[in-house]
Amino acid sequence: MPVVMDADRIGRTLTRIAHEIVERNKGTDDLALVGVRTRGVPIARRIARTLREITGQDIPTGSLDITLYRDDLMRHAVGPQPLVRKTDIQFSIDNRKILLVDDVLYTGRTTRAALDALIDYGRPKAIQLIVLVDRGHRELPIKADYVGKNLPTAPEESVQVRLLEIDGEDEVVLETGGGA
């Protein structure tokens, strides 16, 4: 199980992304962060913290649960329903630039669901996508604006992002499929 990012690397990467955000948006006016549950949420909070250190401004941060928007709900016998968690966006997204945050970009289907979910909350000025890892194999025309690490993978492999807030440690691991 090769570790492809350790805690230091994750920290530096998120700092770099925060700087890219400030550069690209010429500051942080009208920005808001929305993390996709589960692991996009702590990543969004960390980026918000770094942005505050850089600019001195607080960026509104929320969390989005996309379960009810999944395209595989009810579609085939996938088994019981996935657990629905609460979406928590305590600010209006109208006319803001929303930075959507997820841990891994893979088929793009989660992002598609997240875009649909976000639009139900209002009409943002723009949506930009931040991912810690882009592992390729897109099934939809979706592209990230900020990528922590491009990681070429085989479809049978799986990328596990572990974060301090949820898993007790920071690391990204590439697991080979098939065997355990």
Partner 1 sequence: MSTTSQELDQKQAVTTLRRKDLLGIAELSPGEIELILDTAEAMKEVGTRPIKKVPALRGKTVINLFYEPSTRTRTSFEIAEKRLSADTLNIAIGTSSVVKGETLADTALNLEAMSPDMIVLRHASSGACHFLSRVCRSAIINAGDGMHEHPTQALLDAFTIRERKKKLAGLKIAIVGDLLHSRVLRSNIHLLTKLGADVWVCGPPTLIPTDIRRFGVTATSAVEEAVRDADVIMLLRIQLERMEGAYFPSLREYFRVFGMTEARMHLAKSDVMIMHPGPMNRGVEIASEVADGPYSVILDQVANGVAVRMAVLYLLAGGAEHEEAA
Binding site for partner 1 (CB under 8 A): 65, 67-69, 73-74, 77-81, 83-88, 116-117, 120-122
Please report, in angstroms and rounded to a whole number, the separation of the first and last CA atoms in the chain: 10
Residue 172 DSSP one-character state: E
Which is nearer to partner 1, 116 or 157 (by Cβ)? Answer: 116
Minimum gap (Å) between residue 61 Cβ and partner 1 = 17
Which is nearer to partner 1, 96 or 135 (by Cβ)? Answer: 96
Minimum gap (Å) between residue 60 Cβ and partner 1 = 17
Which is nearer to partner 1, 1 or 83 (by Cβ)? Answer: 83
Minimum gap (Å) between residue 134 Cβ and partner 1 = 27
Q: How many CA atoms lie within 13 A of 10 on its CB side?
A: 22
127 and 98 in contact (C-beta within 8 Å)? yes
Which is nearer to partner 1, 29 or 120 (by Cβ)? Answer: 120
18 and 31 in contact (C-beta within 8 Å)? no
Minimum gap (Å) between residue 142 Cβ and partner 1 = 18
Please give the order of strands across the beta sheet that includes 61-64: 61-64, 31-36, 97-105, 126-134, 146-150
Beta bridge partners of 32: 98
